[in-house]
Amino acid sequence: MNNQQVLKFNGTHIRNIHHLAHLIDMCKDKYLVFEFEDNYVAVLEREASNSASLCILKDYGIPSERSADLREPYVDPIDDTQALDQGFGDSPVSNLEIGFDGLVWA
What are the structural domain ranges in the chain?
6-97
The residue type of 25 is D
Q: Compute the distance between CA of residue 95 and CA of residue 6 in angstroms, rounded to an integer.
A: 9
- Cβ-proximal residues to 4 (8 Å cutoff; 6+ apart), any chain: 36, 37, 38, 40, 94, 95
pLDDT by residue, tens only, the chain of 106 residues: 788 899 999 999 999 999 999 999 999 999 999 999 989 999 999 999 999 999 999 999 999 999 999 999 999 876 544 444 444 445 555 555 544 444 444 4
Q: What is the pLDDT of residue 86?
A: 47
> What is the enclosing helix (H) or strand (E) of 9?
strand 6-9
**Which fold would CATH assign to domain 6-97?**
N-terminal domain of MutM-like DNA repair proteins (3.20.190)
Rg (CA), the chain: 14
pTM listed for this prediction? 0.69
25: helix, strand or coil: helix
7: helix, strand or coil: strand
